[in-house]
């Protein structure tokens, strides 16, 4: 990036505000309500010490609450050295719009801790996480009724289990304590399908996009997902699951994978599981066979492909490279990967961007299911599954009886009985609820995209749908 570009590039939070402003200018909200929705309500900064390796180490953490038009507020906790107040506030704002868009009944929040998790061992990470959680819990910034975190970059099931346990130690009589955080492991109150949820949501979002030939044509593409060439940046939780499902189930080819230490490229398609295992074992993609290597990973963002999936961090497509991006379709699996300036450039080039607030909403959607499961204290499907199977069995038995009694013999096709008789378990129900959510939210966005002359992109459409819902909610409260 040149010094000139750096001056023009706004911060992440400013970038989100600029996108919000572009949409809100097309609405008829009062200036006061507009401002109320835009601003971040509060950001708490905490510095706390933990005795480690014979000395006291001080860490800085944040929890930002963007909007409390619905409570609890919701949003992940990120562990990264790049965490700062501007970033958590931008991410908290995106959570408000995301929850409204997919009708998850939460306000927006986000948290972060300035830390490189790779520098500390598991026991040290537990001490640090529990102490951070303690600081947030005692101020009700983690609470099943007020503020419910989830995993984000650098955190996962392990951290969520520690946080839930910490909350329960401090609130021993709260029967709903497990619902204080989502993304927990299944054996600690989690839900089937949460780990894969955000990547699965990216897959469902693309499947829905490709159901509309008109939308596919707007991106200068044709046909289905089958055979499409995809480049993914970041093979972490979100990127790995999205790439895995799209290649294994939809016939897409992952032709490029960009990671911290460079990029891999293979026009015949990369084996996502093999690359993922290599990264887990070796700490990066360096040395991986069966692909050409690029030391400058970012350069592969500019390579020829059909779909680009930035799934690592914000600001990677910016004023310095937007003009050279060739992908006709970008799906923002990460939060904020395209800056406001880059968004302008790409739109003018005719690139279609499926925006972050929709594309990565699978995580919060399944987190919502987990929260409901925790509050109802029963796993989804537990009451219905066998009853559903018995009713299906009745039909199959009856069909077979009719066939036996009839002179014309017919048989059920192979595999039908197995599939039809199996009642839906928690994982099937979660995937079904997620698929339905992703389809409905896409349809709400595309309706605005195609019906309004003044809306020419999905991001503005997404903002219009979600701001309208947040505004209605504030109005209903009498604000």
Active-site residues, by number, are 110
Q: Token match 């961090």: residue?
A: 313
Give CA separation, 246 vs 24, 204, 304, 385, 430, in Å.
Answer: 34, 9, 18, 29, 19
Min dist. Cβ of residue 92 to ligand NAD (A): 12
Min dist. Cβ of residue 57 to ligand NAD (A): 22
Q: Count of residues for the chain?
A: 479
Q: Residue 331 or 455: which CB sits closer to ligand NAD?
A: 331
Q: Residue 95 or 471: which CB sits closer to ligand NAD?
A: 95
Min dist. Cβ of residue 152 to ligand NAD (A): 5
Strand spans (E) along 68-181: 73-80, 107-114, 147-151
Q: Residue 142 or 334: which CB sits closer to ligand NAD?
A: 334
Q: Residue 302 or 388: which CB sits closer to ligand NAD?
A: 302
Q: Residue 24 or 445: which CB sits closer to ligand NAD?
A: 445
Q: Residue 192 or 218: which CB sits closer to ligand NAD?
A: 192
Give CA separation, 16 vs 234, 357, 458, in Å.
Answer: 22, 11, 15
d(CA 199, CA 361): 10
Min dist. Cβ of residue 453 to ligand NAD (A): 32
DSSP code, position 84: -
Min dist. Cβ of residue 450 to ligand NAD (A): 27
Per-position DSSP letters for 277-322, written without gaps between them: HHHHHHSSSTT-SSSEEES-GGGGGGS--SEEEE-S-TTSB-TTTG
The residue number whose beta carbon is nearest to ligand NAD equals 236
Min dist. Cβ of residue 253 to ligand NAD (A): 20
The phi and psi torsions of 6 (rounded to 5 degrees) equal -60, -35
Q: Catalog residues that contact ligand NAD under the rule CB under 6 A.
A: 151-154, 198, 233-239, 258-260, 297, 311-313, 333-335, 360, 363
d(CA 219, CA 349): 10
d(CA 135, CA 399): 62
Of the candidates 207, 245, 191, the residue with the CA atom closest to the CA atom of residue 428: 191
Query: What is the bridge-based pairing of β-strands 73-80 and 107-114?
Result: parallel
């Amino acid at each position: 990036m040149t010094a000139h570009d750096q001056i023009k590039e706004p911060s992440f939070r400013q970038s989100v505000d600029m996108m919000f402003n572009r949409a809100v200018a097309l609405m008829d909200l009062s200036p006061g309500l507009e401002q109320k929705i835009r601003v971040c309500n509060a950001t708490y900064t905490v510095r706390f010490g933990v005795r480690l390796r014979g000395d006291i180490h001080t860490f800085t953490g944040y929890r930002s609450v963007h909007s409390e038009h619905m409570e609890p507020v919701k949003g992940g906790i990120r562990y990264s050295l790049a965490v700062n107040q501007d970033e958590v506030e931008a991410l908290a704002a995106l959570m408000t719009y995301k929850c409204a868009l997919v009708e998850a009944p939460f306000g927006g929040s986000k948290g972060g801790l300035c830390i490189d998790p790779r520098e500390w061992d598991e026991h040290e990470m537990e001490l640090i996480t529990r102490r951070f959680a303690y600081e947030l819990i005692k101020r009700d910034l983690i609470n099943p009724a007020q503020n419910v975190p989830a995993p984000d970059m650098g955190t996962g099931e392990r951290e969520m289990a520690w946080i839930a346990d910490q909350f329960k130690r401090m609130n021993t009589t709260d029967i709903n304590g497990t619902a204080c955080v989502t993304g927990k492991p299944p054996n600690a109150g989690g839900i089937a399908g949460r780990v894969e949820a955000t990547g699965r949501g990216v897959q469902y979002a693309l499947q829905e996009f490709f159901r509309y030939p008109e939308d596919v044509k707007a991106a200068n593409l044709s046909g289905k997902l089958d055979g499409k060439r995809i480049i993914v940046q970041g093979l972490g939780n979100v990127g790995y699951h999205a790439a895995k499902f799209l290649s294994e189930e939809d016939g897409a080819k992952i032709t490029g994978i960009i990671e911290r230490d460079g990029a891999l490229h293979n026009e015949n398609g990369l084996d996502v599981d093999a690359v993922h295992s290599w990264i887990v074992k070796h700490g990066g993609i360096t040395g991986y066979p069966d692909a050409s290597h690029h030391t400058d990973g970012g350069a592969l963002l500019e390579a020829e492909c059909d779909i680009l999936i930035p799934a690592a961090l914000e600001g990677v497509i910016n004023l310095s490279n937007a003009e050279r991006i060739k992908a006709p379709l970008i799906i923002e699996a990460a939060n904020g990967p395209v800056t406001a300036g880059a968004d302008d450039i790409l739109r003018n080039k005719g690139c279609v961007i499926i925006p972050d607030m929709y594309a990565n909403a699978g995580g919060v959607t399944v987190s919502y299911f987990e929260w409901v499961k925790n509050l109802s204290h029963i796993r989804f499907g537990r009451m219905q599954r066998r009853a559903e199977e018995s009713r299906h069995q009745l039909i199959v038995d009856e069909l077979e009886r009719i066939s036996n009694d009839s002179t014309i013999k017919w048989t059920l096709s192979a595999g039908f009985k197995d599939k039809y008789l199996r009642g839906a378990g928690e994982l099937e129900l979660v995937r079904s609820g997620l698929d339905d959510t992703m389809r409905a939210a896409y349809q709400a966005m595309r309706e605005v995209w195609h019906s309004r002359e003044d809306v020419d992109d999905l991001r503005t459409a997404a903002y219009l749908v979600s701001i309208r819902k947040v505004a209605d909610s504030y109005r209903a409260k009498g604000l």
